Amino acid sequence: MGYYLSYVVVLVLFIFVGVSVSLSSSPIEDQKRDRVTDLPGQPKNVGFAHYSGYVTVNEKSGSALFYWLFEAPASRRPEKRPLVLWLNGGPGCSSIAYGASEEIGPFRIRPDGKSLYLNPYAWNKLANILFLDSPAGVGFSYSNKTTDLYTFGDQRTAEDAYTFLVKWFERFPQYKHREFYIAGESYAGHYVPQLSQIVYERNKGIKNPVINFKGFMVGNAVTDDYHDYVGTFEYWWTHGLVSDSTYRMLRIACDFGSSQHPSVPCMQALKVAVVEQGNIDPYSIYTQPCNDTSSLRRDLGGRYVSLFSQFVQFIHKHHV
């Protein structure tokens, strides 16, 4: 994965060099300046526009958030389609390096590390997708005040993301009043509803708000230990990945415990569940698994906060 990520870094630096030489002026000129006309190894005539750049969210500390917008293909009338903000979790996972480049974005990186190909399942076929590296310190987003990186919390993350949105809509006025959704996964189970709440509160009483917020969606969300356990176990059970008796055992042993410090019976139940599941990718149960699932589970890259890491540690300790 490091290989791919470093390629993404190179790509983005490439763009950024082009971006940083021009001077910032009006928001519209900023939009034009942010247009990405080509990437090294990008397929020709992709049929959609994309943009990336920085939006300053705090002048005093000098912090700026990095975004990448992939519009829907021109043939699918992007101007009629909603805008979706996508946030990866972690905390600390880059939405650009991961969400855009490995999950739902239009470009995938070939194993040669030199060229890109199109992802047939890209979400920008249906909507305009805005990827945001958040908070400052994650991915290409940064703060010039080092202490910021040690004092971040969910509240400031949400406030900064809101500031980003307000300024971003000035740069992209064609998206003002457009249907807008917020989506994400994993730790974004916190980011998404918290940002949604701010948008909702600040829109209250405003007719025809600029940020025309319609709803939010989270997948594989970190909510809290109880609901995360209930959801995970029910998913395993209803997809035939664990037996009835293991499901019952998981619910009794784990449901009311902590995922950071699971009890011994809970660890044992998780171990049985892992054995029953066999060699599968728990994040994509219908696709071919990699041959080495231990590397798969090590490489979850911020998608999952604690549950899997706990039983991976457990399995390592017990040489399973």
Interface contacts to ligand NAG, rule CB under 6 A: 56, 62-64, 144, 290-291
Cα 125 to Cα 90: distance, rounded to the nearest angstrom: 26
| Residue whose Cβ sits closest to ligand NAG | 62
CB of 291 to ligand NAG, least distance (A): 4
Comparison of 57 and 222: residue with beta carbon closer to ligand NAG = 57
Pairing of strands 142-143, 107-109: unpaired
CA distances from 66 to 56, 130, 140 (A): 9, 10, 6
**Closer to ligand NAG by Cβ: residue 28 or 290:** 290
Taking the least distance from each CB to ligand NAG, the nearer of 56 and 293 is: 56
Q: How far is the CB of 109 from ligand NAG (least distance, A)?
A: 17
The minimum distance between CB 69 and ligand NAG, in angstroms, equals: 19
Give the C-alpha separation, 101 to 108, whole Å. 6
Query: CB under 8 Å to 107, separation ≥6 — which residues?
Result: 39, 42, 100, 101, 116, 117, 118, 119
Would you give the DSSP letter of residue 145? S
107-109 and 116-118: which strand pairing?
antiparallel
Q: Which is nearer to ligand NAG, 22 or 313 (CB)?
A: 22
Q: Give the residue with the Cβ less far from ligand NAG, 63 or 194.
A: 63
* Cα 182 from Cα 298, distance rounded (Å): 28
Output the smallest distance, CB 53 to ligand NAG, in A: 12
Give me the least distance between CB of 62 and ligand NAG, in Å please. 3
192 in Cβ contact with 170 (< 8 Å): no
Q: Closer CB to ligand NAG, residue 163 or residue 268? A: 163
Residue 61 makes CB contacts below 8 A (sequence gap 6+) with: 143, 144, 145, 148
Q: How far is the CB of 152 from ligand NAG (least distance, A)?
A: 16
